[in-house]
């Protein structure tokens, strides 16, 4: 069945951190996105394409809508949904007091399914159609997540957390059980529907060298899978890593030593990296996920866009919410905080750069540009629609915007989740706001 969405359409074609921004996007003020069998069939100027449509084509006209690729969240924890906004000091204290307590509940499959359902609905309400997701040590938490994601038809990455030391007894596995359970989950879920598996050592301090060795070996055993962890989020954490792995050059070298760098490896934070580490990330094609709301909430530090996107050795970087250390599911709110992080470092984040990092840039970071992240023929029809008149303030402020950049900048500062009019996954409208109420389509 063919359908079409009409409205302003914006999609990125290149990286505005590295190329002139006017060469990095395509914008149609009166655009049309034609969708067939879950894929984008055509996109262009609406008056040119409308005569080509069959009489049966269903057209939805978003007269005050900006149609974008669905947002992509490069680093988030679904079991932490119940501790979002919990008071804490800094990273390690927050993990011990809240996160490790909450995650022990996810051995209960029904409990995990309820959390996964709420989590994915929160993503959809925020215009996010794909995410790189941490589950817990319990295999049931992965089954619950992928089963729920599959019902929504979403493209998500996820995996069982690996931890065999420095955590509560109820959250520990062993090097062998971690390997065996992860392998079984890969065989069950990776490539099933739109599910993608990601090996997930929480971070170097909670895995023994034996577990790290086996994790790297398993990742090599299954080409095409992902690997996700954390790096250089907190200075105390870095010192701890140096104590635990004294023979390694630095934090990144720990992961490098155990074969955990390369394409489809994603590391959250990366705040306090050395030039050597940035160069090695570039050399291996490893990705960083920038988590500004979490970094500010936990006082971890300020991410450097200049260092990440140094033209001499640019590193893949995508935007991430990092819920529950992060304080919002909204990538619009996350862009706003990323702008403030840049300001605090004495630089400036352009709106084109921020929206790129949440769409095509995130897809590039996750090596998914052949599937999502842009509005191009042949790609999956994962889209979000922002209502430019969602609130009186937003409508009034945008009436004074003179350029596309002005519009985008106002959106990333003033428009949060309630401004998302609709979210499409595989060409199906899964979430829409009607007269202020959120309506979800039935899962597939």
* Section 286-305 average pLDDT: 95
Q: Which domains does the chain have, with CATH numbers?
A: 2-70+374-440 (2.30.40.10), 71-365 (3.20.20.140)
pLDDT at 91 exceeding the cut of 80: no
pLDDT at 97: 79
Cβ-contact 351, 405 below 8 angstroms: yes
Question: In the numeric block, which tokens belong to residue 251?
Answer: 């934090």
To the nearest 10°, report the CA torsion of 182, 187, 189, 194.
120
User: Which uninterrupted H or E stretch holds 348?
Assistant: none
Question: In the numeric block, which tokens belong to residue 348?
Answer: 């400036």
Cβ-contact 417, 408 below 8 angstroms: no
Cβ-contact 306, 258 below 8 angstroms: no
Question: In the numeric block, which tokens belong to residue 318?
Answer: 């995508």
pLDDT, tens only, 249-279: 999 999 999 999 999 999 999 999 999 999 9
User: Which uninterrupted H or E stretch holds 384?
Assistant: strand 383-387
DSSP β-bridge partners for residue 429: 424
Taking CA atoms, 343 is separated from 87, 138, 139, 233, 304, in Å, by 25, 40, 41, 19, 10
Comparing CA positions, the residue from 151, 148, 16 lying closest to residue 81 is: 148
Comparing CA positions, the residue from 96, 313, 325, 142 lying closest to residue 230 is: 325
Percent of the chain with pLDDT over 90: 90
pLDDT at 90: 66
53 phi/psi in degrees, rounded to 5: -75, 150
pLDDT at 60: 98
Question: In the numeric block, which tokens belong to residue 241?
Answer: 């890593």
Question: In the numeric block, which tokens belong to residue 308?
Answer: 């990440």
Return all residues near 46 (Cβ < 8 A) that are at least 6 apart: 6, 28, 30, 31, 32
Taking CA atoms, 252 is separated from 207, 235, 241, in Å, by 15, 14, 10
Residue 231 banded pLDDT, cuts 50, 70, 90: very high
Residue 444 banded pLDDT, cuts 50, 70, 90: low
Peptide bond into 99 cis (omega under 30): no
E-only strand ranges, 173-275: 195-201, 226-231, 265-269
**71-77 and 128-134 as β-strands: parallel, antiparallel, unpaired?**
parallel
In this structure, the number of other CB atoms found within 10 A of the CB of residue 216 comes to 20
* Section 362-381 average pLDDT: 98
At residue 216, the 3 state secondary structure works out as helix
* Section 372-397 average pLDDT: 97
pTM for this one? 0.97
DSSP β-bridge partners for residue 27: 10
Provide the mean pLDDT of the chain: 95
Q: Which residue has the higher pLDDT, 423 or 103?
A: 423
């Amino acid at each position: 069945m063919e359908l079409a969405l009409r409205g302003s359409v914006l999609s990125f074609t290149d990286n505005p951190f590295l190329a002139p921004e006017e060469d990095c996007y395509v914008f149609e003020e009166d655009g049309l996105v034609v969708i067939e069998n879950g894929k984008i069939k055509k996109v262009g100027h609406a008056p040119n394409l409308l005569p080509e449509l069959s009489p049966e084509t269903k057209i939805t006209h978003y007269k005050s809508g900006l149609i974008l690729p669905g947002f992509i969240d490069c680093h988030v924890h679904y079991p932490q949904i119940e501790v979002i906004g919990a008071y804490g000091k800094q990273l390690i204290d927050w993990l011990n007091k809240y996160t490790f307590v909450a995650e022990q509940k996810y051995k209960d499959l029904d409990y995990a399914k309820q959390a996964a359902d709420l989590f994915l609905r929160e993503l959809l309400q925020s215009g996010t159609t794909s995410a790189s997701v941490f589950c817990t040590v319990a295999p049931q938490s992965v089954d619950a997540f992928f089963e729920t994601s599959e019902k929504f038809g979403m493209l998500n990455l996820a995996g069982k957390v690996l931890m065999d030391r420095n955590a509560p007894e109820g959250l520990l596995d062993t090097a062998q059980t971690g390997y065996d359970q992860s392998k079984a989950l890969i065989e069950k879920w990776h490539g099933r529907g739109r599910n993608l598996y990601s090996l997930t050592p929480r971070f170097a301090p909670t895995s023994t060298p034996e577990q790290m060795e086996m994790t790297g070996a398993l990742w090599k055993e299954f080409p095409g899978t992902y690997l996700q962890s954390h790096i250089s989020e907190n200075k105390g954490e870095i010192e701890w890593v140096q104590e635990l792995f004294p023979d390694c050059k630095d934090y990144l070298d720990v992961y490098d030593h155990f074969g955990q760098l390369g394409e489809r490896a994603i590391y959250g934070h990366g705040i306090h990296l050395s030039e050597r580490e940035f160069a090695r990330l570039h050399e291996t094609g490893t990705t960083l996920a920038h988590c500004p709301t979490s970094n500010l909430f936990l006082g971890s530090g300020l991410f450097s866009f200049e260092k990440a996107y140094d033209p001499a050795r640019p590193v893949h970087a995508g935007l991430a919410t990092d819920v529950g250390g992060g304080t919002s599911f909204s990538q619009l709110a996350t862009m706003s905080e990323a702008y403030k992080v840049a300001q605090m470092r004495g630089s400036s984040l352009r709106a084109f750069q921020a929206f790129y990092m949440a769409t095509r840039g995130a897809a590039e970071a996750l090596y998914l540009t052949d599937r999502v992240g842009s509005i191009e023929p042949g790609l999956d029809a994962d889209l979000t629609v922002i209502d430019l008149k969602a609130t009186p303030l937003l409508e009034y402020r945008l009436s004074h915007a003179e350029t596309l950049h002005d519009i985008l900048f106002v959106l990333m500062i003033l428009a949060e989740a309630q401004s998302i009019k609709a979210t499409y996954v595989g060409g199906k409208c899964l979430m829409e706001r009607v007269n202020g109420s959120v309506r979800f389509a039935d899962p597939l």
